[in-house]
């Protein structure tokens, strides 16, 4: 079977995109998804995303980690699927779509995608870190010497040692200025550092505001893959009106032979 695909990236977080509105993709084939995401034997990506029909919104997003398993929300993936839907002519400048964590609104203009994230009503304080869920679970920890920090080694320790098999994404943070933070993320499911993580940088922005490291409601995040911006509003329960904004681009498209 020849499978047509599109490769997208959002600040270096890359995804195989498949138009599955005809419902032909074998969604339970973990081995196939893992193969497609393999950087040596397949296409290569941090994850795979299916764009599907939805009865109440413009489309539905189904997200898989590169290990082949369906996972929780992916922020950069959400921004990339908006760009993909725009490319396919499904949406124009404004859209709403359904994902595993519920409804998302989004905007796109000149390759910049803004994605509304779910409200966050709880941030757990740990000894030297914070934990919160922004559609996916995230550990946020300030560290010294972020540039030379061993993200894979230390992230793996925390991912399994502190959070067990279910795990958490691990974000290591360095403060650059009052409203700007450098972030490097170890992603579960990828089991390595990725160049950027959308739900991760969202978690960092909220955690830094919660802890008083910044008083700003517009936080700039610098990742190894590029720059993102997180806007939000404080409320008595936590945070709402949370928007993740940054570039999302088509890299290439093609076809690959797979077993049907």
The answer to whether residue 197 is catalytic is: yes
Q: Check 43, 98, 195, 197 and give the catalytic one.
A: 197
d(CA 246, CA 83): 11
Check: CB of residue 132 under 8 Å from CB of residue 201: no
* Torsion region of 29: left, alpha or beta (phi above 0 gives left; psi -120 to 50 gives alpha): beta
DSSP string computed for 130-172? EEEESSSEEEEEE-S-GGG--HHHHHHHHHHHTTTTT--EEEE
d(CA 241, CA 115): 10
d(CA 186, CA 220): 20
Q: What DSSP character marks residue 33?
A: H
Q: Check 17, 32, 50, 74 and give the catalytic one.
A: 74
Q: Is 206 helix (H, G, I), strand (E, B) or coil?
A: helix
Element (DSSP H or E) covering residue 14: strand 13-19
Rounded to 5 degrees, what angle do the CA atoms 187, 190, 195 make? Answer: 60
d(CA 180, CA 241): 20
Element (DSSP H or E) covering residue 11: none
d(CA 83, CA 10): 10
The answer to whether residue 74 is catalytic is: yes
Catalytic center residues = 74, 197
């Amino acid at each position: 079977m020849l499978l047509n695909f599109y490769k997208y990236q959002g600040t270096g977080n890359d995804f195989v995109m498949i138009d599955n509105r005809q419902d032909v993709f074998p969604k339970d084939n973990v081995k196939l998804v893992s193969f497609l995401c393999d950087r040596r034997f397949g296409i290569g990506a941090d994850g795979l995303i299916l764009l599907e029909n939805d009865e109440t919104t413009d489309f539905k997003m189904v997200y898989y980690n590169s290990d082949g398993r369906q996972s929780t929300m992916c922020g950069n993936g959400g921004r990339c699927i908006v760009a993909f839907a725009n490319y396919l002519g499904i949406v124009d400048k404004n859209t709403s779509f359904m994902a595993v964590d519920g409804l998302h609104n989004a905007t796109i203009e000149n390759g910049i995608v803004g994605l509304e994230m779910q409200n966050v009503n709880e941030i757990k304080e740990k000894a030297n870190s914070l934990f919160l869920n922004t559609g996916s679970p995230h550990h946020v920890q300030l560290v010294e010497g972020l540039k030379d920090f061993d993200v894979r080694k230390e992230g793996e320790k925390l991912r399994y040692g502190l959070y067990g098999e279910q795990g958490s994404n691990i974000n290591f943070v360095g403060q650059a200025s009052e409203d700007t933070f450098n972030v490097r993320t170890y992603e579960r499911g990828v089991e390595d550092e990725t160049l950027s993580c959308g739900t991760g940088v969202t978690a960092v922005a909220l955690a830094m505001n919660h802890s008083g490291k910044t008083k700003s409601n517009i936080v700039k995040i610098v990742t190894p893959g590029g720059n993102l911006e997180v806007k939000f509003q404080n409320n008595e329960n936590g945070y709402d009106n949370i928007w993740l904004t940054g570039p999302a681009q088509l890299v290439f498209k093609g076809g690959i032979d797979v077993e049907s």
